Amino acid sequence: MSRMIFVNLPVQDLGASVAFFTSLGFAFDEQFTDENATCMVVSEQACVMLLVRPFFASLTFKDVADSSTTEVLLAVSAQSRDEVDIVVDRALALGGAMAGEPSDEAYIYGRSFYDLDGHGWEVMWMDAAAVA
């Protein structure tokens, strides 16, 4: 059975986050967007819900982590090595921060960044022919 996944992330400024991720090439589903949240479409099976911190906090009994801790790293695929560089360089130019050195293994290339709220993202390309 195939399932969709919705990752929920707290953000300080919803408008700034939407502008940041739109500039990185992501689209948003307006049907699931209001002043508290928006649905960033990663693929047909994966979405990231960007939720303003007070709304996010209302969905859990635990404290909401701040950007000084890491609970999850989000990884998205790229079509090529060049696309990895384009996306990460753009994220850095838009105010993101570098989150480590590039990874350049035999058939996998990846780079990472922190978004405006300190969430860790990795953009990776894998040579599928080399894996087969």
Are 49 and 37 a contacting pair, CB within 8 Å? yes
Closest alpha carbon to 48 in 102, 120, 103, 112: 120
Report the phi/psi class of residue 95: left, alpha or beta, with left for phi > 0 and alpha for psi in -120 to 50: left
pLDDT tens digits for range 93-131: 999 999 999 999 888 999 999 999 999 999 999 988 877
17-76 tens-digit pLDDT? 999 999 999 999 999 999 999 999 999 999 999 999 999 999 999 999 888 888 889 999
Cα(78)–Cα(110) distance, integer angstroms: 9
93: phi then psi, degrees, rounded to nearest 5: -65, -25
